[in-house]
Amino acid sequence: MITRLVFFLTAFFVIAGCERLEKLFVEEDLLERPPSKRCADCHQKIYNQWKTSRHAQAWVSEEFIKKTKNRTKTKCLSCHAPLEVKAGEKPQLRDKLREEGVNCFSCHYREETDSIHGPYKVFSPPHYSTYNPEYTSARICSGCHKKTYDNWIKTGSNKNCQECHMPSKKDRLIQKFPFMYFHSKKDLHNHSFLPLKADEQDFSITVVYKGKALMVSVKNLAVPHTVPTAQQGKPKYYLQIKGFERKETLLSESEMITPENGFEYKREKTFIFYVDKKPDEVVVELYRKLSWKKEREFVLKKRLSID
Amino acid sequence: MLSEKNRGEAMRLIQTVGKSCVQCHKNFKLSAKVKFHFPDFSGFSLEDPVTGLDYSLKDYMKAMTQDMKLVRIYFLDGKKEKARKAGFNFVKRFEGLTQMCSDCHTGKKSEEIYFGVEAEKHITALKEAIVDGSLVRINKHLKWIGQNNCAKCHNVHETTYHLREKFGK
């Protein structure tokens, strides 16, 4: 009887004191937007991925500093050190830790709930957590990546930003021993925000020779936004074309492609080159240059013969 | 004064501060606006699609307008090959101008005015005219580009740019 009484009393106090119990384990500095390194105490993998990302470079990137004239173009700044990233809203510029760029707290901390928001319902004693389905939608990116988002919406694609740029694999959200074993494995999304590179399967290329003009048509088959794409940066693609007649070069030309005249999803873009004689073989190469890089990267090469 | 609810003294101080705002606006509003609110093109560099090098805006414009003139001159001289080369270089450089709008314009509207569907149609038609060697059609499309792109953009930006240069000094 006494044992039962003790059990019920204990259960009662545990349940009644749950709120207090939750507070007991809260590490309050976590809800005061500390440096991202603090998150790495538990979320080591995510932190390491983020550290290599362009989001981590957003405020200190040389290109950004140059283009904003030493950060004096104020309208650019808030997306490079956002206070809180919310779906469909341009964020506010934060005051502290700007050098961390788009950091953990930019995307995951919300003052309105004083908790960490994310796509999972989790019990996380060191900080309050709020399940927020916005994190599985492309809208969460749209406040800053508006051009690409609008472009993606028009394509009607059901593949969202996260599926390609934050691919997931089953893993644990935290790596701190022994707490890592308190949570089941979940879809852990890659936080290095991969700037993916299109490949041969993503484009179809056709060439037609008509009236001394060689028409090269390129169609973006698989990337559900314009390629290249950017809100403000200047990524580029380069189309290089060589035309041969019995191995002799008849034509050697190149075209530069910017986000404004890029390869739209499932739309053919035709380039016209003048060439006196009809080539029997055409070699088409695509290269790209990311906004923050100086070197071009090879994307694809196709040899096409003209009948 | 406000916390002491001294209305008279507060008003006197507000007016003193106000005078300083008015005087500054009166004397420097125009020059400050021109110097700080209009774009400074001096720092722009554009990747030239023809040579692959980074050009200053001035050099880029020079190269592009040179191409535009050369198309006509070479065609009139009967140097079709050179004319075509200059024509295609002009088109490349013209399309390459898309690199610069987004340095300041974060919305798509201004890009659409200059590089929208209409401009695309004329550029395609211009390329076809260059291939065919039709000077009449080349002139027609260059005229459209001149009126709808060059003149429009210059009228918006060039005057204030020159003012800025003067005030800046």
Angstrom CA distances, A60 to A102, A196, B167, stand at: 11, 22, 32
Q: Does B119 lie in the same domain as B58?
A: yes
Smallest Cβ–Cβ distance between A232 and the set B47, B106, B130 belongs to B106
Average pLDDT of the segment spanning A164-176: 94
Residue type, A99: E
- Domain tally for chain B? 2
* Closest chain B CA to residue A295: B52
Cβ neighbours for A280, distance < 8 A, ≥ 6 positions apart: A244, A245, A246, A305, A306
Interface test with A, best of B90, B106, B138 (most A CBs within 10 A): B106
What string of DSSP letters covers A6-46? HHHHHHHHHHHTHHHHHHHH--GGGGS---GGGGGGT-HHH
Question: B-chain residues within 8 Å CB-CB of A67?
Answer: 103
Interface test with B, best of A63, A229, A260 (most B CBs within 10 A): A260
| Residue numbers in chain B where pLDDT is lower than 50 | none
Return the pLDDT at A172.
Answer: 92
Query: pLDDT: is A18 or A45 the higher one?
Result: A45
SS (HEC) of A79-121: HHCECCCCCCCCCCECCCCHHHCCCHHHHHEECCCCEEEECCC
pLDDT (tens digit per residue) in A171-229: 999 998 888 888 889 999 999 999 999 999 999 999 999 988 899 999 999 999 999 99
The domain that holds B98 is classified in CATH as 1.20.120
Average pLDDT of the segment spanning A16-44: 81
Among the listed ranges A6-15, A276-285, B37-46, B66-75, which one has the minimum average pLDDT value?
A: A6-15
Smallest Cβ–Cβ distance between A234 and the set B99, B111, B120 belongs to B99
Average pLDDT of the segment spanning A120-140: 92
Computed over every residue of chain A, the mean pLDDT equals: 91
Q: Which helix (H) or strand (E) holds B30?
A: helix B7-32
* Dist. CA B97–CA B86, nearest whole Å: 17
Q: Which helix (H) or strand (E) holds A186?
A: strand A186-189
pLDDT (tens digit per residue) in A218-259: 999 999 999 999 888 889 999 999 999 998 999 999 999 998
* Dist. CA A137–CA A148, nearest whole Å: 14
The torsion angles phi and psi of A152, rounded to 5 degrees, stand at -65, -40
Q: Answer whether A261 sits within 8 Å of B88, measured CB to CB.
A: no
Q: Does B48 lie in the same domain as B19?
A: no
Return the pLDDT at A81.
Answer: 97
Q: Answer whether B88 sits within 8 Å of A273, measured CB to CB.
A: yes
Q: Answer whether B106 sits within 8 Å of A75, measured CB to CB.
A: yes
Residue pairs spanning A and B at CB distance below 8 A? 57
Q: Does B45 lie in the same domain as B101?
A: yes
Smallest Cβ–Cβ distance between A261 and the set B84, B95, B102 belongs to B95
Q: Strands A129-131, A115-118: parallel, antiparallel or unpaired by DSSP?
A: parallel
Residue among A288, A282, A197 nearest A235 (CA): A288
Smallest Cβ–Cβ distance between A260 and the set B47, B104, B115 belongs to B115
Cβ neighbours for A118, distance < 8 A, ≥ 6 positions apart: A108, A129, A130, A131, A132, A135
ipTM, 2 dp: 0.76
Chain A: nearest CA to B92, how far in angstroms?
A: 7
SS3 A231: coil
> So where are chain A's domains?
24-189, 200-305
- The range of the structural domain enclosing residue B13 comes to 1-37
Q: Which helix (H) or strand (E) holds B128?
A: helix B117-132
Interface test with B, best of A258, A273, A290, A295 (most B CBs within 10 A): A258
Q: Does B96 lie in the same domain as B139?
A: yes
CATH 1.20.1730.10 fits A200-305, yes or no: no
Return the pLDDT at B38.
Answer: 81
B44 touches chain A (CB under 8 A): no
The torsion angles phi and psi of B116, rounded to 5 degrees, stand at -85, -160
Chain B: nearest CA to A240, how far in angstroms?
A: 11
B44: Cα within 13 Å, side-chain hemisphere: 19
* Dist. CA B87–CA B129, nearest whole Å: 10
Return the pLDDT at B6.
Answer: 86
Instruction: Identify the band that residue A67 occupies on the pLDDT scale cut at 50, 70 and 90.
Output: confident
Return the pLDDT at A9.
Answer: 57
Q: Does B66 lie in the same domain as B21?
A: no
Q: Does B45 lie in the same domain as B27?
A: no
Chain center to CA of B56: 13
Q: Does B69 lie in the same domain as B2?
A: no
Smallest Cβ–Cβ distance between A274 and the set B49, B84, B96 belongs to B84
Using an 8 Å Cβ cutoff, are B94 and B50 in contact? no
Question: A-chain residues within 8 Å CB-CB of B49?
Answer: 254-256
Return the pLDDT at B45.
Answer: 84
Among the listed ranges A26-30, A144-148, B91-95, which one has the minimum average pLDDT value?
A: A26-30
Question: A-chain residues within 8 Å CB-CB of B130?
Answer: 274
Q: Does B63 lie in the same domain as B18?
A: no
Return the pLDDT at A18.
Answer: 53
Q: Does B46 lie in the same domain as B30?
A: no
Q: Answer whether B47 sits within 8 Å of A211, measured CB to CB.
A: no
B141: Cα within 13 Å, side-chain hemisphere: 24
